A = this chain, B = another copy of it.
Amino acid sequence: MTTPADARYRARGVSSAKEDVHQAIAHLDAGLFPGAFCKVLPDLLSGDPESCLVLHADGAGTKSSLAYLAWRESGDVGVWKGIAQDSLVMNLDDCACAGAIGPYLVSNTIGRNAKRIPGEVIAAIIAGYGEVCASLEAEGITCHLAGGETADVGDLVRTVIVDSTIACRLPRREVIDASRMAAGDVIIGFSSTGRARWEGVDNAGIGSNGLTGARHELLAKHYAQSYPESHAPEIDPDFVYSGPYRLQDPLPDSSMSIGQALLSPTRTYVPLIRDLIDALGVERIHGLIHASGGAHAKIGKFGHGKRYILDALPPPPPLFRAIQAAAQVDWREMYTVYNCGVRLLAVVPEACAQACLDAAKAAQIDSWVVGRVEDATAGAANSVHLQTAFGDFSY
């Protein structure tokens, strides 16, 4: 099928841009630092004028539908631990991009269909939260589980939804305000693949974005027939599990299976971000961008009157190539939905580039100078320009 990419997303009831949602919240106040990666509030809890707070919500999204398929086929509840990591890290990394590197307080809201999801799955998810916190603690990052709520909501939820909310307090002077990104800055990209210092297994890099598309584009009709509860019945059947693979099939050019690759838990970059702050000082980190929803177009939402040139991104890793090959969507679209191998960008003065690369090396994460910041012509809005082996794309 060669339907345009945007039509493919909409056919599946997702949109990387979520225009109607952004319109619904456009009137809400933007917080103390409207240019920061996530909303930063006055410290309304303690009233301290030198401090600020982040209260941030996000979740594993439809990656839990994928875990459901893997669990049902293998019987291994271990896959659910990764969903806890996905749900938590999507929050941690957003907050850390604003400079909030802990201590974090974590709460979760799990909605399940009790007819499909037994207590052992909930136990595995909750154990997963604990394991992520323990691995962060070993890196000196404190993440405390405050509690949560698991609700039986089968009339709302087909299988299970796993969301998290985290709170973090920090001095206002330590906030990373991405509106500081300046012409002449370089953009460092940090790999989403491989095995970071705090990881026990290799990561395929997918994170928790674009999973509705990736799952349907890669997986085969078998899953529609065997697990109709794993997708919205409103989707045109042509777009449901329209891919060539089963979970246990090998991912081309990789030692991982399709299932292992898609279920790779979202890497947290928080220990690396802490190391970057330690090495450079907050004031020299002009921006940290979590390439989550919106992927590499996302940086264009931050700063003012800038051209972000990304002309040296590394080649997309195997999982992203497989998704593109199965979906037959343009790479222009791929780079706005998937991180394509780089899920964190740091924008720093050129003189700080080497320190970033060194910190990444110590974290056992590949990194590159992937681009630079320029001023736009007077009065022009931000724009993002990718130069890739697949063509040049502007957003």
Interface residues of A (CB under 8 A from B): 12-15, 18-21, 23-25, 28, 31, 38-39, 41, 44-46, 48, 51, 53, 55-59, 61-62, 64-65, 103, 105-109, 111, 113-116, 118-120, 122-123, 126, 142, 144-161, 163, 165, 167-169, 212, 215, 229-235
Contact = CB atoms under 8 A, between A and B. Distances in A.
B105 A53 contact: yes
A62 B161 contact: no
A59 B109 contact: yes
Contact of A235 (B55, B142, B154): B154
A20 B25 CA distance: 37
A229 to B, nearest CB: 8
Nearest to A24: B123
Contact of A156 (B23, B145, B159, B168): B159
A12 B152 CA distance: 10
22 contacts: A13-B113, A20-B118, A20-B119, A21-B150, A24-B120, A45-B103, A45-B167, A53-B146, A55-B106, A57-B108, A57-B109, A59-B111, A61-B153, A65-B155, A109-B109, A111-B161, A111-B163, A113-B232, A113-B234, A152-B212, A155-B158, A156-B160
B44 A155 contact: no
Contact of A167 (B19, B28, B55): B55
Nearest to A144: B44
Contacts of A165: 55, 57, 107, 109, 165
Contacts of A159: 156
Given A114-B15, A154-B13, A147 B235 contact: no
A273 to B, nearest CB: 19
A4 to B, nearest CB: 18
A147 B14 contact: no
A156 to B, nearest CB: 5
A107 B107 CA distance: 11
Contact of A114 (B14, B55, B119): B14
Contacts of A45: 45-46, 53, 103, 105, 167-169
Contacts of A14: 114, 152, 154
Given A13-B154, A161-B111, A167-B167, A57 B148 contact: yes
A106 to B, nearest CB: 8
B105 A13 contact: no
Given A55-B147, A123-B23, A154-B14, A105 B44 contact: yes
B18 A150 contact: yes
B111 A39 contact: no
B147 A57 contact: yes
B157 A157 contact: yes
A144 B42 CA distance: 11
A132 to B, nearest CB: 15
Contacts of A51: 46
B39 A147 contact: yes
A147 B234 contact: no
Contacts of A119: 19-21, 23-24
B24 A155 contact: no
Top 3 nearest A-B pairs (CB, nearest first) are: A20-B119, A13-B154, A165-B165
A234 B24 contact: no
A319 B163 CA distance: 33
Contacts of A155: 12-13, 62, 65, 158, 212, 215, 230-232
